Each structure stands twice: as structure tokens, then as C-alpha cells.
Amino acid sequence: MLQEEITLRYDVLDLHEVYATLSYFLGHRQEMQEYLDRARQTSLVARHNQARGRSLSFGSVGRSVAITGIDVGES
């Protein structure tokens, strides 16, 4: 998608903001990839917990989740 198309699709953004965001992303690829990886992991944990009928509140997340291999800790 071209930068101009983004501004047409999302009318709250102007071209300057789109270019600034793309510039930041390109200059910080590793940090952005790490952020996206963490967001995916969080999403996997939430979907797994929801599928198992667990509440998504922070106080009930509980133990390690097997599909992600991460320890979400006891609250």
C-alpha cells in the first residue's frame, strides 16, 4: 500500500504522520520486531486461556502455558 493510499483509507492520518511512522519503523526494525513478537505471544496466551475457559483478568492468568513455553507467573 502506498503512503498516499494509507491517508485515503485512514482519514485521521496526514501524509506527514504516515511518513514519520514508516521512517521510525525502518530505523528501529529490531525493536519493532521484538514488540510485535511480544504482542503475538500475549495474544496466543489470551486465546489459549479463553479457549480453556479461563478468565482473562490479570489475577487469574496463573501458571505456564504449554503452547507458548512462557511462564506468565502466579498472581
pLDDT, residue 54, reads: 65
Per DSSP, 10 falls in state S
Please give the Cα distance from 4 to 58 (Å, whole number). 40
Name the residue ranges covered by the structural domains of the chain. Answer: 3-60
Given this model, what pLDDT does residue 32 score? 94
Give the model confidence (pLDDT) of 18-67 as tens digits: 999 999 999 999 999 999 999 999 999 999 988 888 655 555 444 444 44
pTM of the complete model: 0.52
Q: What is the pLDDT of residue 58?
A: 52
Confidence grade of residue 68 (pLDDT, cut at 50, 70, 90): very low
pLDDT band for position 15 (50/70/90)? very high
- Report whether 3 contacts 18 (CB < 8 A): yes
